Amino acid sequence: ASKGQEIEAAIKQIDGARDVALEQIAGEAQLVIKPKRQQLSRFGLSVGDVMEVVKNGIGGVSAGQIINGNERYDIYVRIEEKYRDNQEAIADLRIQSPTGAWVRLGDIATVSFESGPPQVRRDDVQRRVVIQANVQGRDMGSVVSDIRAVIDSKVDLPAGYSVVIGGQFENQQRAQQRLSVVVPLSLALIALLLYFAFGSVGQAMLILVNVPLAVIGGIFSLYISGQYLSVPSSVGFITLFGVAVLNGVVMVESINQLVKDGIDTSKAVFDGAVSRLRPVLMT
């Protein structure tokens, strides 16, 4: 717990880390009532009598039902909420003895609020504590790098302790690993299909040249919009690759058709580019 608090304090100093919070480890406050048996005997009361009063006062006792149309609602009577969390108010509850006398709960029992047992959570049989944080104003990768750096420099972890960063960052890393395989494979398949379609390695490579140019435009768009490279934007880049290749296919096919019609190659390239400019800009 102490190391978790150290890490929490260190992360709070990092720019971009927001809502840093250490999960609750200490047990929640519990109401503890310990009957005084000698006092109970003096007034002719039992432990069950004490528990009955506490149960009815805090948990409530059923007082019937109320009907609203076809719906039924149970009615419970208990002491007000502001008194249920007040130790003195609970101790001031009255219990009627067999002789008819009213006795304070605090006179026949000890009333106190105590911390419950600590909560021990485990992952893969290993005890763990979770520190949650949101990222705002910076990209997640740089914030995570700063978190690792500040933990290494400011927190002395004993042997057997380790830090694992999960959540959205873990999902992002997993997705990027998949994309690092999917994207090159997709480009290779596109190049192969282009070669089969045009029967020319040169024309296939000419179309694929559009992809790096599209990447430059995409990165520039992210920059001017203040966004960061993320999994959704990576998927958007894949879509952008497809649009760039499609535009290249349409343009090269248009140029090839003009060349077949007997137009000079240079003029065919110019006319084909001009004729496809509007569709390219629209997509």
Cα 275 to its chain centre, rounded Å, is 49
Residue 65, in any domain of the structure: no
Do 252 and 204 sit in the same domain of this protein? Answer: yes
pLDDT of residue 204: 87
Do 229 and 269 sit in the same domain of this protein? Answer: yes
Separation in Å, CA 122 to CA 90, 130, 226: 36, 10, 39
Question: Domain span at residue 39?
Answer: 29-58+75-115
pLDDT of residue 10: 85
Please determine, for residue 281, whether its predicted confidence score (pLDDT) is greater than 80: no
Please determine, for residue 107, whether its predicted confidence score (pLDDT) is greater than 80: yes
**Above pLDDT 90, what percent of the chain?**
0
CA angle 283, 183, 196 (to 5 degrees): 75
Do 197 and 263 sit in the same domain of this protein? Answer: yes
Domain count, the chain: 3
Do 254 and 196 sit in the same domain of this protein? Answer: yes
Phi, psi of 84 (to 5 degrees): -65, -25
pLDDT of residue 229: 73
What confidence tens digit (pLDDT) does each residue in 240-274 have? 888 888 888 888 888 888 888 888 888 888 887 88
Q: Cα(214)–Cα(114) distance, rounded to whole angstroms? A: 64
Listed residues 165, 199, 225: the one ending a domain? 165
What confidence tens digit (pLDDT) does each residue in 123-147 have? 776 777 888 888 887 878 888 888 8
Short-list 55, 59, 53, CA closest to 106: 53
Q: Cα(283)–Cα(274) distance, rounded to whole angstroms? A: 15
pTM for the model stands at: 0.51
Residue 250, in any domain of the structure: yes
Do 183 and 275 sit in the same domain of this protein? Answer: yes
Q: Which two tokens stand for residue 97?
A: 């003895």
Do 12 and 142 sit in the same domain of this protein? Answer: yes
- CATH assignment of the domain containing 45: 3.30.2090.10
pLDDT of residue 190: 86
Q: Which two tokens stand for residue 136?
A: 């705002």
Do 21 and 33 sit in the same domain of this protein? Answer: no
Residue 9, in any domain of the structure: yes
Q: Cα(159)–Cα(140) distance, rounded to whole angstroms? A: 28
Do 19 and 125 sit in the same domain of this protein? Answer: yes
User: What is the average pLDDT across 29-58?
Assistant: 87
Do 235 and 277 sit in the same domain of this protein? Answer: yes
pLDDT of residue 83: 78
Do 89 and 211 sit in the same domain of this protein? Answer: no
Residue 151, in any domain of the structure: yes
What confidence tens digit (pLDDT) does each residue in 184-210 have? 888 888 889 888 888 888 888 888 888
Collect all residues with Cβ–Cβ distance below 8 Å to 221 and sequence separation of at least 6.
none
Residue 63, in any domain of the structure: no
Helix (H) or strand (E) holding 53: helix 47-54
Please determine, for residue 23, whether its predicted confidence score (pLDDT) is greater than 80: no
Residue 273, in any domain of the structure: yes
Do 266 and 177 sit in the same domain of this protein? Answer: yes
